[in-house]
Amino acid sequence: MNLRELTNTEAMVEALKEEMTRDPSIFIIGEDLVAHGGIFGQFIGLPEAFPGRVIDTPISETCIVGAGLGAALTGMRPFVDLHFADFTTCAMDEIVNQVAKIRYMFGGQAKIPLVIWAPDGAGLSAAAHHSQSLEAWFIHTPGLKVVSPCFPYDVKGLIKTSIRSDDPIIFFMHKKIFSRKGPVPEEEYVIPLGKAEIKHPGTDVTIITYSIMVLHALEVAEEMEKEGIRVEVLDLRTLWPMDWERIAESVTKTHRVIIAHEACLTCGFGAEISARIQEELFDELDAPIFRVGAYRVPIPFSPPLERFVIPGKESLKKTIYNMFGKEIDSK
């Protein structure tokens, strides 16, 4: 396997390039794609490589998602860019009432090979309308699949799989990880949906997590090693379908669980995972399940406020200390 270092953005663009070359029914639609290369410049190069297949729209989110849906119903494979995960709210009817339900409501007649891609997450002082993590809403909506990887290898493999999927995918990428690099093979590969991966093996406690929190969890795992706590980091990568098998395996090994996400704690995905673990693996647990997530407030602008609201490395460490009855000061 020939590995090179790519950023998450490069990995995504490479996946799109390969897939668009392979399948002429794939096109990208959204605002500011052609001249600007996407709001974060994340699609630079694609408009030139695929003239006419990267389509700029007016600011009309309802119709951008709807246009993706209509095209998916009639033989195309659209990749919709929504600028920010926050703007899914402007197209909520399309996503929840139409995209998610049409196949089922019509008794399985339709297939919807549609990817809705949106950057999410806080940490850039982008304030309340440009910082949210909304994955739980969509996991809660039957008919959608939700993906949220954080390493270039996973991004590329999962973008390819999502594009090839005949079901609608909501694909979130944290905006703070775009330029983060990682090894990606030159050879063709895909990653199936619904497969979590252990990013750091351990035996004392499992951190079940995804997106940017995986990076924090990995740092914490390294640090904890020195203190004799061996942390296992399980990166879900796909949120729905959820890889229950991997979760159960890890819980059975470590008997202690922390679930971490940047989205607000209340009714976050952690609540679902936690409930399922206690229903099915109660006897495996040596400690209560702990969750790490944001306060239930909109994301504030000012850096000290924002840092306070969203969880990070420190929140994870505190939780581990708490779980193992260690004094926080001892760190």
Of 2-41, binders to another protein (CB under 8 A) are: 25, 27, 29, 31-32, 34-37, 39
Q: Tell me: does residue 267 bind another protein (CB under 8 A).
A: no
**Is the Cβ of residue 5 or residue 48 nearer to another protein in the bound state?**
48
Stretch that binds another protein, among 164-172, 176-184, 206-214, 317-325 (CB under 8 A): 164-172
| Residue 132: φ, ψ to 5° | -80, 155
Which parts of 273-292 interact with another protein (CB under 8 A)? 279
Task: Read off φ and ψ for residue 135, nearest 5 degrees.
Answer: -55, -35
Contact in structure between 148 and 135 (CB atoms under 8 Å): yes
Could you say which of 83, 129, 130, 200 is catalytic? 130
Applying CB under 8 A, among 254, 306, 315, 320 the residue interacting with another protein is 306
Among 17, 45, 50, 63, binds another protein (CB under 8 A): 63
Least Å from the CB of residue 187 to another protein: 25
Greatest Cα pair distance in the chain = 61
Stretch that binds another protein, among 10-18, 47-55, 211-219, 251-259 (CB under 8 A): 47-55
Does 304 sit behind a cis peptide bond, omega within 30 degrees of 0 on the bond before it? Answer: no
CA atoms within 13 A on the CB side of 279: 7
Separation of alpha carbons 123 and 176, rounded Å: 7
For residue 312, count other CB atoms closer than 10 A to its CB: 18
Q: Are strands 181-185 and 169-174 parallel, antiparallel or unpaired?
A: unpaired
179, 241, 266, 322: which one binds another protein (CB under 8 A): 241
Q: Whose Cβ is closer to another protein: residue 27's or residue 210's? A: 27
Of 8, 82, 130, 156, which one interacts with another protein (CB under 8 A)?
130
Judged by beta carbon, residue 129 or residue 331, the one nearer another protein is: 129
CA angle, 203 then 240 then 93, to 5°:
150
Interface pattern 66-105 for another protein (x via CB under 8 A): xxxxxxxxxxx-x-------xx-xx--xx--xx---xxxx
DSSP 106-172: TTT------EEEEEE---SS--TTS----HHHHHTSTT-EEE---SHHHHHHHHHHHHH-SS-EEEE
Which of residues 8, 165, 211, 315 is near another protein by CB under 8 A? 165
* 3-class secondary structure, 263: strand
Q: Is 130 a catalytic residue?
A: yes
Q: Which of residues 190-219 bind another protein (CB under 8 A)?
A: 194
Residue 330 CB, shortest distance to another protein, in Å, is 23
DSSP 321: H
Does residue 51 bind another protein (CB under 8 A)? no
Instruction: Enumerate residues 6+ apart whose C-beta is below 8 A from 31.
Output: 39, 56, 57, 58, 59, 64, 81, 83
Total number of residues binding another protein (CB under 8 A)?
A: 86
Cβ closest to another protein, residue 95 vs residue 221: 95
**Positions marked catalytic:** 130
